[in-house]
Amino acid sequence: MEKDIMRQVFAILGVCFFLGCQQGDGHGECSSTQKVKKPNIIYILTDQWRTSSLGYAGNPDIKTPHLDKFAQESVNFINAVSVTPVCTPHRAALLTGRFPTTTGMIVNDIYLPSEELTMAEIYKEAGYNTAYYGKWHLDGHGRQNNVLAERRQGFDYWKALECSHAYNKMAYYDNDDPEMKYWEGYSPFAITEDVKKYLTNHANDSDPFLLFLAIGTPHYPHESAPRKYKQMYPKDSLTIPPNVRPELHERTRLELQGYYAHGTATDEAIGGVLAKIKELGLWDNSIIVFSADHGEMMGAHGVKPFVKQLAWDESIRVPFLVRYPSIDNNEGAVVNAPLTTPDVLPSLLSLSELEIPESIQGDDLSELMQNPNPQTDRTALVMNAAPFGANYFDPEYRGIRTKQYTYVSTLEGGALLFDNLRDRFQMDNLINNPDYKKLQEDLDKKLKVELAEIGDEFKSREYYMEKWGLEFDMSRRAINWWDNTDGCMVQSPMAATNSKKNLNQ
């Protein structure tokens, strides 16, 4: 019922676009009867691309010329973090603006309840066309099965799949066609070529569009990167960070070769999309974001490549570049204040001059985007309520990131404290250091405030699994998606439907 009310509200907002001037003949003449078109939203989400593996972020090895250029045309949040650094929880938080412990979307391969109000539903009700390309990972009906139209959370145009990392034979479903299709060739190139067609077809629409492009790379398997790009990265030439132990150097170099190759190829694919946006005249009336759902440990701190979910920067810190209409002198500006995943949706809505639903928990950072100040600081929350799979035996945690510090607590108390300005590889854990006692106490208080604001009591994994009706298959210590071949739903946080009762109150 509450969701229907919200939809009616946004329908009214969509119809009532504010009236104003619109440049017509280049001489500043305008008509008060013309409606001003809302900005398009183009969100580019990559998978497992950590901030430290980008040229513009200071990595001397990887070649990302197109994103390096885009960083100079955007506002760069250099301390953006993934609220839970793994696919499904991040994506659910991104689309709802709500925290994993609120929605119950705490692990991979579960279904985001239809009762949740999402990005596409809000923009659609405001008059936007909506489109989704690539990896979804929010359906919970099996990774290869079709995400039916009624479960696409407000996205109408659809060329996507629940989850696959077969980059050279990537499956997808085309809108209402139930037959599985395959992208031709390397999927980042194939998908972005189709995205260019969508942009071309909708460039002159009277209504704005929300286009979500979810590319699967540079997520493993790294050896599947095109040979041309792997040859750009001889293994022996690659720099190994000092927090990677010697026994992992050889394997890390092998994985970095493919990881960087995927990154450079993906950079080229994204560059083509950005060029098309400019070519079609969409550049100055679009909000464009480049980001990733989480990072990758890649041997740091003794953790083997592929692993994420942990609270170190290699896992939680993600790129976040945002460009918006009238960015002007803010091109290339750097924001040191951290941003966490639920902050994205309210910030985009505010930039779009749309009302932010009260169900959203993230903070509106649009003012910081429009007036970037490198001195500003704030607290951004990260968490892992239910470690699973390769991380099953790791402790649950809650943590905060400021522009200088990382503080992480487990159920047993403070566990990590880093001064990221002095110790960017996080090799000197200051927890329980007498010289930093006051700082630790202050950060712990800030963490408790963040948790209280979202009603997270910080309990055990078992508590949240039971609360949301979730159960692992202990053969892999994860939600069983691999046996789901008939398209039936695996699991979903059914209790999340009750979280809607506070809407509009």
Catalytic residues: 87, 137
Could you give the angle at the alpha carbon of 345 between the alpha carbons of 381 and 171, nearest 5°?
Answer: 100
- Cα distance between residue 73 and residue 136, in whole Å: 28
- Cα distance between residue 375 and residue 354, in whole Å: 28
Could you give the angle at the alpha carbon of 442 between the alpha carbons of 437 and 444, nearest 5°?
Answer: 95
Q: Are 504 and 476 in contact (CB under 8 A)?
A: no
- Cα distance between residue 161 and residue 145, in whole Å: 8
- Which 3 state secondary structure label does DSSP give 183? coil
Phi/psi class of residue 290: alpha, beta or left (left: φ > 0; alpha: ψ in -120 to 50)? beta
Q: Name the residue among 80, 74, 72, 77 with its Cα closest to residue 56.
A: 72
The 10 Å CB-count burial string (b at 16+, else e) for 318-339 is bbbbbbbeebeebeebebbbbb
Q: What is the 3-state secondary structure (H, E, C) of 17-29?
A: CCECCCCCCCCCC
Using DSSP bridges, classify how beta strands 157-161 and 171-174 pair: parallel, antiparallel or unpaired.
Answer: antiparallel
Report DSSP state, residue 41.
E
Phi, psi of 417 (to 5 degrees): -145, 115
Report DSSP state, residue 330.
G
DSSP for 252-314 reads HHHHHHHHHHHHHHHHHHHHHHHHHHHHTT-GGGEEEEEEES----TTBTTPPTT---SSSHH
User: What are residue 209's DSSP bridge partners?
Assistant: 129
Phi, psi of 213 (to 5 degrees): -115, 110
